[in-house]
Structure 1
Amino acid sequence: MDLKTNLIKYVKNNLEIKKCVNEFNLYLRATFLECYSYCFVPHQKYEDELLLKIDSILDYLQDELNIGHWSEIPNTTRQAFTSVSFMKALITLRRGTDEDTIRSVLKCVDLGLLLGAPLDDNHDLLTQAASLLNKSLSTKSDLVENQRKRKLPSNLDRVVGKEVGSLNCPSIECFDKEFFKPRRPVILKDCISHWPAVTKWLDLNYLLGLAGSRTVPIEIGSHYTDENWTQRLMSLRDFIHRHYLDSSTVGYLAQHNLFDQIPELRNDIRVPDYCALSRQYDDGDDEPDINAWLGPEGTVSPLHFDPKDNLLVQVYGTKEIVLFSPNDSEYLYPHESNLLFNTAQVDPYRPDLEKFPKYNSAVAYKCLLEAGEMLYIPLRWWHHVTALDKSFSVSFWWT
């Protein structure tokens, strides 16, 4: 059975895909319905022009996605992008199923996952499609030798501050009373030894075999406040070869929901039991926001705070972290722009006291986060993070 036929099997309600026709003007509606008919009406004739037509619809939707702030984009527009991305996959596979074609189809589906939104009846459509396409690809060209580790020296001694305490796998009751309720940071040890990721992710060939052809967003530059900072979409394979193994140009897979995009990796981790605690009377969200942080030595997240409680889990590698209480916010000189309101202007390693004289009143907390440990960062606590060597971290945000 061919790939196109197998992909169509994942569709639970093709009429839901058809209803996104309402997102288009009259001209594009006709184009969309022509492409839809080829995908879902039996015995429709394939024409090379169909690829140009489906691309014109995707171009229109991408323009719509780039208008205004991301949070203001209607969900129906993002769902339409999901539907049309899937349709393009079906149309492209009609052209052939050689390795290069499948890779291009997988990239199209990943873009749908990154920019689109899950459908209601066909919620896992693109996730299932991407998994099937990825499994059909050869991974022999991805193989790399075991990495030689290089560790940067720590600079924590340049920061005057208190050491963050640590505790071996405390009970939920202890964590709640001593740290969660009073909002005190702490390093938690011996909490992830049961994770398959602890051993599996050390092997780059495992990651490449599972996700080497998947498209992911990569931050290029020293950190996101740098004027030369940018983001690029590339395959995980290209990221590992261009930026992870060769760190001459800094690249960082940072704060990306990799585990919804690639559920196979989600199977390698577990949500910490501490995330069951909540500050909300309605017990908060059912699931935390889970993000991946994969990069070489030298990656930096500048001093900032997050709006939720955070458990930062270090699967491998070492990171040094400097933290400040929300009570010290005025001493850290947050940026005045709406975009960077949660980011400080002060660099705790090189504070400019002439420009930021109040910084002298701030009290720093600092720690090294080693492999197998997790750091509890209470909501709105400021934190500056530097990777001393190649590392893979997972953050769990919850309320």
Structure 2
Amino acid sequence: MSCPHIIKDIHQFVTDKSELENLPGDSLNYSVKQLLKNCLDYSLNTDSLIDPSKLLEIESILDFLNDELNTGHWSEVPIHIRQYYTLSSFIKCVIIVKNNRNYSEDVIRKCLKCLDLGLLLGAPLQYNTELLTDSAKYIRKLLNKCRLKNEEYCTNNESNDKVTKIEDFQSLPGKYIDQIECPSLEYFNKHYFLPQTPVKLQGCLQHWPALKKWQDINYLLEIAGDRTVPIEIGSHYVDENWTQKLMTLKEFIERHYLSDTGDIGYLAQHNLFEQITELKDDIRIPDYCCLSTDYEHTTEPDINAWLGPKGTVSPLHHDPKNNLLTQVYGTKQIILFSPEDTPNLYPHDDKLLNNTAQVDPVNPDLQKHPKFSNAHIYKCLLEPGEMVFIPVKWWHHVTAIEKSFSVSFWWQ
């Protein structure tokens, strides 16, 4: 397939070119806006001659937008700046292809990374909402066609010390939360959702294709190995050495997931399924997410992925929404506390961390946190095919006993 054909195929995802030409927002620097329009015209003109300067121009625009994205708190970034970033990422992808007469694996990787950065940092356009996801899906298929045979990885997820870890968990103080086999909506609503009581649910995920497919790490690599994702590096996000890095899923698998050396890496709380929609086809939104105490303000649940090696930890914290944490494979131990125990858990004073406790419930320092001895501890061992309901504001501490993949559904 030649480059002109690829460009033509990519353009199929531009369902409304007028939107791209009438760029979102009206407060972008005028010279930057004009430069972006020129790059847009160049990228959409399949007959224009190759112009290497256009790649430098679009990269300078992305640098400018990066500075805008990193000014102030992320929540305060104007939506049109993120939309400009989406559009610029798409344009850069087309220019990369256009400026290379014969596409190669390296060229396609650059295009895919460009699109992923747009998905991670940008925002959907008004009408072309799937512009980057559809383009990335197409580019990923191209990459699979032109690469050599994929390297195979061992998919054995068993941990030699799993039994010991479970015995350690069982020896922890605390009361086990209820567990029930696939309750009806009415029963779950009456006994757990309305009273806001945590419970472990069994037999609710058997219809998920992910239960079988995702245990094979080679399947995940085929679908998403070349996609760029954010990885947390360090024991947990409160640790002073904690950081985040962007890398491909394949790099994460090789450096952190399969490796027993180096820092712990964790793909944590990432909306992987909006970025890589092929994986979303392998899961289903649980019916329980339709329940609400305020039906006038219900929204689709926030779906996040949690993929990591054994030993990953989410420190004791609470979430702003109800949570169904589903376990696709691997085992996790969960320690929970009622909102009533908040004073006994020593929340951080920092505004950004006030939903996180200072106390470590696994190894509490009672001299430093004496009130923790008054807390009422609940616990749960979450195994493959199970899900746990964690009500809003309930504190929970999560540790992976072995390699695991979890999916969380937040809703209100």
Letter in 2 for 1:284: T
Structure 1 gaps, min length 5 = none
- Corresponding position of 2:315: 302
Unpaired runs of 5+ in structure 2?
A: none
Q: CA deviation at 1:336?
A: 0.4
Among 16, 21, 24, the residue aligned to 2:19: 16
Aligned length: 398
Deviation beyond 4 Å, 4+ runs, structure 1: none
Give 1:355 deviation, angstroms. Answer: 1.4
Cα distance change on mapping 1:95 and 1:42 into 2, 3 Å: closer
Please report the RMSD computed on the Cα atoms of aligned residues, expressed in angstroms: 1.4
Contact kept? 2:337, 2:395, Cα under 8 Å: yes
Distance in structure 1 (CA, Å) of the matches to 2:123 and 2:17 = 16
Do residues 116 (structure 1) and 122 (structure 2) align?
yes
SS of the residue 2:123 aligns to: coil
Q: Distance in 1 between matches of 2:186 and 2:274?
A: 30
**2:43 alignment partner AA:** C
2:176 is aligned with 1:159: no
* Corresponding letter in the other structure for 1:11: V
- Aligned-partner Cα distance in 1 for 2:184–2:30: 61
Post-superposition offset of 1:368? 0.7
Matched residue SS, 2:353: coil
Residue range with higher mean Cα deviation, 138-147 or 174-183: 138-147
Counterpart of 1:289 in structure 2 is 302
8 Å contact from structure 1 (residues 243, 296) kept in 2: yes
Name which of 272, 275, 294 aligns with 1:261.
275
* Counterpart in the other structure of 2:239: 226
Query: What TM-score does the superposition give when structure 2 sets the normalisation length?
Result: 0.94
**What secondary structure is seen at the aligned counterpart in 1 of 2:296?**
coil
Aligned pairs for 1:40-119 (under 5 A) are 40-96=44-100, 97-119=103-125
The answer on whether the counterparts of 2:8 and 2:46 sit within 8 Å (CA) in structure 1 is no
Q: How far apart are residue 142 of structure 1 and its match?
A: 4.0
Q: Single out whichever of 342-351 and 39-48 deviates more from structure 2.
A: 39-48
The 2-side partners of 1:24 and 1:284 are apart by 34
Which position in structure 1 is the counterpart of 2:264? Answer: 250
Asked whether the 8 Å contact 1:321–1:367 carries over to 2, the reply is yes
Give per-residue Cα distances to partners, 1:301-343, cap 9 Å, x unaligned: 0000001000000000000000000000010000000110100
Q: Once the 2 structures are TM-superposed, how far is the Cα of residue 19 of structure 1 from its aligned partner?
A: 2.8
| 8 Å Cα contact 1:147-1:245 kept in structure 2 | no
Render the CA deviation track for 1:33-52: whole Å, top value 9, x for unaligned: 22111012453232111111
Q: Shift of the alpha carbon at 1:111?
A: 0.4
Partner of 1:375: 388
Kindly state the Cα deviation for residue 32 of structure 1 after the two structures are TM-superposed.
1.5
Q: Do the aligned partners of 2:157 and 2:403 also contact (CA within 8 Å) in 1? A: no
Does the CA-based 8 Å contact 1:323-1:381 persist in structure 2? yes
* Partners of 1:142 and 1:212 within 8 A in 2: no
| Within-5 A mapping of 1:202-217 | 202-217=215-230
Q: Distance in 1 between matches of 2:53 and 2:313?
A: 46
Does the residue aligned with 1:30 lie in a helix, a strand or coil? helix
Aligned equivalent of 1:358, options 361, 371, 375: 371
Residue 144 of structure 1 and its aligned partner are, at CA, apart by 1.5
Identity of aligned residues (%): 54
Measure how far apart 1:143 and its partner are.
Answer: 2.6
Q: Secondary structure at the match of 2:351?
A: coil
**Alignment deviations for residues 49-103 of structure 1 (CA, whole Å, 9 cap, x no partner):** 1111100000000100001111101110000000000000000001221100100
Give the TM-score normalised by the residue count of structure 1: 0.97
**Where in structure 2 are the equivalents of 1:145-156 lying within 5 Å?**
145-147=154-156, 149-150=158-159, 151-152=161-162, 153-154=165-166, 155-156=168-169
Q: Does 1:343 align with 2:346?
A: no
Task: Indicate the residue corresponding to 1:172 in structure 2.
Answer: 185
What's 1:329 paired with? 342
Q: What is the distance in 1 between the residues matched to 2:359 and 2:306?
A: 23
Whether contact under 8 Å (1:309, 1:377) holds in the other structure is yes
Deviation at 1:148, TM superposition (A): 5.2
